[in-house]
A = this chain, B = another copy of it.
Amino acid sequence: MYSYICLMNSLTEENYLKAIYSLSADRGTVNVNDLSKRLDIRMPTVTSMMKKLAERKLVRYEKYKPVSLTPKGEKAAMYVVRKHRLTEMFLVEIMGFGWEEVHDIAEQIEHVKSAEFFRKMDELLGHPSFDPHGSPIPDPEGNIRRDPLPALSECREGEKVSLSAVSDSSSEFLTFLNSRRLSLGTEINILSIEPFDGSMMLSYDGTSGQVFSKVVCDKLLVGRKEK
């Protein structure tokens, strides 16, 4: 186990690999432009990094075509994702941070070069399956649970759902959710949907009727209770 710790990638390479993984989670491939926007790095820089990663057999790259991870690149990416999510869980569960505070710190700690460090985290947390934002944590072999959750915005009036994950871990978004007393596991009733802008009126935790914009409902991933 931990067979991928022998791959030594720089902090920068790890960030690229993670970005490619997360952007391609659905479509399977990613454009240079997507990466450029996600990482806030100009396109020529991304192009040259793709050449470098292709050289190292971590990504498939051909001029003017979208890029994708090779099996080796995927494994490396999954390990970075594992380290990131374990760290977030550690920061929340062991250190007492709020879920809105951990992403930026994890973004740094995920690059620590010590397999033992992450192994200890995993052990202390009792081998968790999900991070504080509801995302699955890849196992030590790089396998990840892949059951894509529907967004709240895709649900219908009258449905009862529970908040299972969020697709935005930014401090701003999560602080907003905190202010509305929304957290993972909250049971939500969809009272009504405004056809004009897709905003939803919800009740949860005994609240009467809170309105959430579609922008927000797109980021709330839910488990369906009854259809």
Contact = CB atoms under 8 A, between A and B. Distances in A.
A120 B108 contact: no
A96 B120 contact: yes
Nearest to A123: B96
Contacts of A124: 95-96
A92 to B, nearest CB: 11
Nearest to A96: B120
Interface residues of A, number: 18
A53 to B, nearest CB: 23
Contact of A109 (B96, B97, B109, B120): B109
A94 B117 CA distance: 12
A194 interface: no
A95 B105 CA distance: 18
A13 interface: no
Contacts of A91: 117
Contacts of A94: 94
A104 B114 contact: yes
B116 A108 contact: no
B105 A114 contact: yes
A108 B97 contact: no
A112 B97 CA distance: 16
Interface string A95-107: 1110001001100
B120 A112 contact: no
A56 interface: no
B120 A95 contact: yes
A113 interface: yes
Nearest to A116: B101
B114 A112 contact: no
18 contacts: A91-B117, A94-B94, A95-B117, A95-B120, A95-B121, A95-B124, A96-B120, A97-B116, A97-B120, A101-B116, A104-B114, A105-B112, A105-B114, A105-B117, A108-B112, A108-B114, A109-B109, A109-B112
